[in-house]
A and B are shown apart, each in its own frame.
Chain A
Amino acid sequence: MAVIRDMIPPFELFQPAGVDDAVRLMREHGDKGWVLAGGLDTFDWFKDRIKRPEAVIDLGGVDELKGIAVADDGGLEIGAMTSLTDIAENGDVRSGYPLLADAAGLVATPQIRNQGTLGGNIVQDTRCWYYRSGWPCYRAGGNICYAATPRSMNREHCIMGASRCVAVNPSDTAPALIALDAEMVVASTSGERTYTAEDFFIGPDIDIMRMTVLEPGDLLTRIVLPAPWSGARWYFEKIRDRKAWDFSLVSVASMVNVEGGMIQDARIVVNGVAPCPVRATAAERAVRGRAPDDETGQAAGEIAVRGARALRHNDYKIALMRNLVKRSIRDAA
């Protein structure tokens, strides 16, 4: 199919100065509008001329969406427009939430972290390359999944939780925010509402054309981290094809609370295996009351991959998930 690349189709540009202005403009333009943060996901779509919004609403001038502040309860509030570099290097994030500092610091490249925002990293679209190349698949409003036919190239796709679409969520910060039990604050012209990070991401069973609960007109304004679990151990690891930079094949983020040598509580989140980051809740239950050792980790890994079903080219992801879950319990520090 002929696609003209690298020439961005014209659009009307809006540069609101505040959240109120931004949500009003977003409502006005509905699904013909596009919110622009750092542009790393956005310009990829525009240059391929696959997404052609009429109006672009640039959040670059909305200062109230930038910055990191300590909340009254000892937690942290991070504006959606805060850059990934600022998060990875921030003292409060590093000391209280090293899991997030690590995840943000492992996204892409230094240049992309300098420009890319936390909000954009959370809301970014899937990287399924059929879809990104403009194939008219389910997610693009069509009636076929090109990644799930017998001849498809689906090494990067799902091993669980799929519903017609087998694409995965590419965000590295998403699993960390779920493990940390963060809250997402969303604004629209009808006011503000809050979601847990876990509920924020949705799969194709709920809506095949969206990755998150956000609908046209909804602006993610800030991410709220609860006060740090005192004494919690944490673990983040992403596995990628190249060492310099790459999207995750599978990533894991865990918080493990250990007292008297026994796990009291754990949150284990895996991304890259399902349409949205998944909590391994059965594994979390299984590790309670046990020592954070190799045996417990092994058991957790086995439980976490129960029900996983590989596509033609991605059975390696089952082993990756099993081992990452194991390490995330055994090696959490």
Chain B
Amino acid sequence: MEVVRLRVNGDERVCGVPAHYTLLETLRYGLGLTGSKQGCDKGDCGACTVIVDGRAILSCITPVWEAEGREVRTVEGLANGTETHPVQDEFDLNGAAQCGFCTPGILCSSVALLDGNQSPTREEIRKALAGNLCRCTGYEKIYDAVEAAAARLGP
């Protein structure tokens, strides 16, 4: 076991994990943050996407020690207290989630995009979400939701 110290969603967290654990395994099985999903576990599907230092990354393929000293944001940390993030609201209003398995990763990719670019074009949204697979929605409603959230957040 190794003791890792992480900053997750603004909280300092300490946890003992095997040295070869990934960030995803630590979040899910060490810290109980099961919002980030274990899909393919190989970097193909994007369900494990979290935001580290402002950038979307794949937690399934990131060794946990790489996240020490950095700012980790997961789907659990997108809402402000009980107030949902505009992207979460718009996913709800636009019917952008069906089975929901891919949703946490897509929310994180969307928030990472909107934090850096508050008026993305549809094409920029498609590109930013290219690494997140969804087998239910056909993506269009997801893009609609991100567009609507951008309109709310935008200048």
Mark A residues whose CB is within 8 Å of B.
6, 8-11, 13, 15, 36, 39-40, 43-44, 46-47, 58, 60, 85, 108-112, 114-115, 244-245
Q: In the complex, are the beta carbons of B20 and A111 less than 8 A apart?
A: no
Assembly CA distance A10 to B22 (angstroms): 12
User: Which among B63, B65, B109 has the greatest number of chain A C-beta atoms within 10 A?
Assistant: B63
Assembly CA distance A85 to B19 (angstroms): 28
Question: Which of B55, B56, B60, B130 touches A244 (beta carbons < 8 Å)?
Answer: B130
Interface residues on B, range: 20 to 34
Q: In the complex, are the beta carbons of A110 and B58 less than 8 A apart?
A: no
Q: In the complex, are the beta carbons of A60 and B22 less than 8 A apart?
A: no
Number of A-B contacts (CB under 8 A): 71
Q: 6 interchain pairs (CB within 8 A)?
A: A8-B20, A10-B18, A44-B42, A46-B20, A111-B49, A115-B58
Interfacial residues of chain B within 94-146, with CB under 8 A of chain A in the complex:
109, 127-128, 130-132
Question: Which of B43, B127, B132 touches A40 (beta carbons < 8 Å)?
Answer: B43
Q: In the complex, are the beta carbons of B65 and A85 less than 8 A apart?
A: no
Q: In the complex, are the beta carbons of B41 and A109 less than 8 A apart?
A: no
| A302 smallest CB distance to B (angstroms) | 35
Assembly CA distance A43 to B18 (angstroms): 16
| A248 smallest CB distance to B (angstroms) | 15
| B117 smallest CB distance to A (angstroms) | 12
Interfacial residues of chain B within 47-78, with CB under 8 A of chain A in the complex:
49, 55-58, 60-63, 65-66
Q: In the complex, are the beta carbons of B22 and A43 less than 8 A apart?
A: yes
Smallest CB gap from A44: residue in B? B42
Chain A residues with CB below 8 A from B18, complex form: 10
Smallest CB gap from B42: residue in A? A44
Chain A residues with CB below 8 A from B56, complex form: 110-111, 114
Assembly CA distance A114 to B20 (angstroms): 21
Give per-residue flags for B1-24: 1 if the beta carbon is below 8 A from chain A beta carbons, else 0: 000000000000000001110100
Assembly CA distance A11 to B65 (angstroms): 14
| B93 smallest CB distance to A (angstroms) | 25
Question: What 3 A-B pairs are tightest by C-beta distance, nearest first?
Answer: A109-B131, A8-B20, A114-B55
